[in-house]
Amino acid sequence: MRRFNPTTLQKYIDTKDRITPLFFTGRREELTIAYTAFGNLKEGQTKGNTVVFQGAPGAGKTALLEHIKDMLAHECDSAKIEASLIGQPHEALFEVLKQIEPDTAETLRKSHQITKHGDVHLGVGSGGVSSSSTSTPKDITTLYRLMDERKSNKPLVLFLDEAQNANGDLPDGKSSILQQLHEGDVGKVTLIAGGLSDTSTNLNRLGISRLSFGNITTLQPLHETEVMTSVEAFVNNEDFCIDQNGCDVAPLKQLVINESMGWPQHLTNTLQAIGEELIVAGGQLAECDINAIQQRSQVRREDYYMRRAEAIPKLLLYEVVSTIPKGQSVKEYAVHEAVERAYKNYPLINQKLPYEKAFYMLVHRGVLQEDTTGNLTIPIPSMHDYIKYQSSLAIEGSGWGSINRHTSRPMTARLP
Ligand SMILES: Nc1ncnc2c1ncn2[C@@H]1O[C@H](COP(=O)(O)OP(=O)(O)O)[C@@H](O)[C@H]1O
Ligand SMILES: [Mg+2]
């Protein structure tokens, strides 16, 4: 009898999903890319390296960054930097120093607190670096030197999550931490960034030339075999599974493959749906109702889509979803045309979402993601269905269905 422990299952469900995944799977290419960037730097490359992983919310960026951090833990010093500090290299480096060598950072802070001529203004506020900090070249040089004099001589790897928030609007004369890493004298640093689909555009605007050399990867759905590995790890996990004998788990694997479509967020959703149903069945896998798991998984999936789409006018979503065939991608200009069409046909939507923000929101809410060729797609087939169905209801309800439309198509979408 394959039997599970309801208490540990409940814990897993309650931890929500923003954690290093217990059942991390796949991403071998991405791990290799990160490791190669790091390796090149170790072996003599003198300037910094940047690697960017892009994808819609739920594509697995944070989990991947955490995994890379674990993978490199023995070989490097690592620190996280915030996108909000990207235009303040001095402060960003100081924050890094605080994480890897708090004592050195504290000494530095104290010594500069008493510097009369203020060659480094780190600020002395209780929250660390104050907003009055400056970033003159002299400051940077001082910090570079301190970074060089770190007690540890391990290479440094910086992690920048939510990197889409690092935009190019820097004050005149200021350079970003990323430029400093690439072109300055900060030493050997690998920067590993995760962000939404417009991250590379933003980073390019910061003038990072080396980004164009294939260091940008868009996270694609996981392969079926990878999903299966994750399910195996779940059903054989010693904390969860009290008795691992009996009960064929093949149908469960197939269920997770079908429900998740390889999308990491839905993989977690479906594993948690299995957990919930196992609890109902007193931990007995044989007693679990596959249909009930499917329903629970669908509720979670739709909840995720609803959260993605709620801030965007449905009439805009309809125009966009009608432009991108399910499972395919289109050039960016085609999406811009669809957006323009929507605002022209339904001027009132401007009140809910100003036209200038429309494209940004479609990307930032994860409705759109780049594919491997740089074209735009709705990243998950069931998300395409959901948006098409929900937005078509708005078309019917709005009275716009039959007039003033040149893109209307038959409503064939059903929820998966
Ligand atoms: N490679 C993976 N294998 C298994 N689960 C994953 C993987 N990547 C992400 N997940 C899970 O998917 C969910 C969303 O991942 P997350 O990293 O938070 O996405 P993002 O940062 O892109 O929004 C989380 O529950 C995470 O644990
Ligand atoms: Mg994330």
pLDDT tens by residue, the chain, 416 residues: 788 888 888 888 887 655 667 899 999 999 999 988 888 777 766 667 788 999 988 999 999 999 999 999 998 889 998 888 877 777 777 888 888 888 877 777 766 543 433 344 444 333 334 444 443 344 556 666 666 666 667 788 889 999 888 865 665 556 666 666 666 665 667 889 999 887 877 777 666 545 545 588 889 999 999 999 999 999 888 888 877 777 778 889 999 999 999 999 999 999 999 999 999 999 888 888 899 999 999 999 999 999 989 999 999 999 999 999 998 999 999 999 999 999 999 999 999 999 999 999 999 898 998 887 889 999 888 899 999 998 888 877 665 443 333 333 333 333 33
List all residues whose CB is within 6 A of at least one atom of ligand 1: 17-18, 21, 23-27, 55, 57-63, 230, 264-265, 267-268
Q: Give me the pLDDT at residue 357, please.
A: 95
Q: Closest ligand 1 atom, CA of 18?
A: 18
| 14 C-alpha to ligand 1 centroid (Å) | 16
Distance CA 32, CA 37 (A): 8
Q: For residue 415, count other CB atoms closer than 10 A to its CB.
A: 13
First vs last C-alpha separation in the chain: 32
Q: Which ligand is nearest to the CA of 54?
A: 1
Q: For residue 403, count other CB atoms closer than 10 A to its CB.
A: 8
Distance CA 74, CA 83 (A): 25
CA distances from 127 to 20, 95, 121, 130, 213 (A): 27, 11, 15, 7, 38
Q: Are 104 and 97 in contact (CB under 8 A)?
A: yes
Distance CA 67, CA 21 (A): 9
Q: Write the residue with the smallest CA distance to atom 10 of ligand 1.
A: 264
Q: Give me the pLDDT at residue 20, please.
A: 64
312: three-class secondary structure by DSSP? coil
Which tokens sit at 56? Answer: 């819609």
180: three-class secondary structure by DSSP? helix
| 60 C-alpha to ligand 1 centroid (Å) | 4
Pocket test for ligand 1, best of 13, 15, 18 (most atoms within 8 A of CB): 18
84: three-class secondary structure by DSSP? helix
Residue found by looking up tokens 């078509």 in the block: 392
88 φ/ψ angles, rounded to the nearest 5 degrees:
-125, 75
Q: Give me the pLDDT at residue 141, please.
A: 63
Q: Which ligand is nearest to the CA of 64?
A: 1
Q: Which ligand is nearest to the CA of 267?
A: 1
| 263 C-alpha to ligand 1 centroid (Å) | 8
| 82 C-alpha to ligand 2 centroid (Å) | 13
**pTM, rounded to two decimals:** 0.83
Q: Give me the pLDDT at residue 38, please.
A: 83
Q: Write the residue with the smallest CA distance to atom 13 of ligand 1.
A: 265
Which tokens sit at 281? Answer: 């069945």
Q: Give me the pLDDT at residue 126, please.
A: 36
Q: Closest ligand 1 atom, CA of 27?
A: 1
